[in-house]
A and B are shown apart, each in its own frame.
Chain A
Amino acid sequence: SQQGEEDPQALSIQEGENATMNCSYKTSINNLQWYRQNSGRGLVHLILIRSNEREKHSGRLRVTLDTSKKSSSLLITASRAADTASYFCATDEAGRRALTFGSGTRLQVQP
């Protein structure tokens, strides 16, 4: 079963705009991670936020985590055409030994 569910499923924006993707999950987690997948390629790890953290930044990425609502958001600021990809959240659930991935958000950044 899918733990993380991303919203929206697809997002199209203009270059320079911000992109926000959301992830909801169902059980207790140790951490939540975001990955990017370019078309036809493997997933690339972007950022990890631990369950005791509320916000984390990495370059143009900002991730928030609300454990009370079991949700996370990924914000990409000043988007570029090269940000066009699918983005997945993945949860490290307590008691499980592998990450559980959501179904992803397809982001299209128009030049």
Chain B
Amino acid sequence: NAGVTQTPKFQVLKTGQSMTLQCAQDMNHNSMYWYRQDPGMGLRLIYYSASEGTTDKGEVPNGYNVSRLNKREFSLRLESAAPSQTSVYFCASGEGQQIYGYTFGSGTRLTVV
């Protein structure tokens, strides 16, 4: 099925460890996004990529880096994980100007101990 694929689905890290969350879309969308979801907080934007080759900070970028590898793939990297980064991470894709809505992946549940 067409859509957005995220890996892994679950991950436990120790404080200070690093990891990369992978995201790939086959919708041929130009824009891709990383959000985190915490209880009672809704979704907060970490980084986004309006088009291949560009990335921009969102609301909560500290502690994260991203790479837009090509049109399909947008990865999120935690260089030195902290307990405050325990969250559910969602990748999404969409056409520019948010006209048609986003397609979301199923999420990565990350726990940092």
Which residues of A come within 8 Å of B, CB atoms? 1-2, 4, 30-31, 33, 35, 40-45, 48, 88, 92, 97-104
Contact = CB atoms under 8 A, between A and B. Distances in A.
B98 A30 contact: yes
B103 A97 contact: no
Contacts of B48: 97-98
B42 A98 contact: no
A92 B92 CA distance: 15
Interface of B: 4, 31, 33, 35, 40-45, 48, 50, 56, 58-59, 90, 92, 97-107
Contacts of B44: 101
Given A97-B50, A102-B42, A42 B90 contact: yes
B107 A99 contact: no
A99 B40 CA distance: 18
Contacts of A101: 35, 42-44
Contacts, number: 62
Contacts of A42: 4, 90, 104-107
A2 B42 contact: yes
A100 B98 contact: no
A99 B50 CA distance: 12
Contacts of A43: 43, 90, 92, 102, 104
From A42, A100, A103, residue with most partner B Cβ within 10 Å: A42
11 contacts: A31-B98, A35-B102, A35-B104, A41-B107, A97-B31, A97-B48, A97-B50, A97-B56, A98-B31, A103-B40, A103-B41
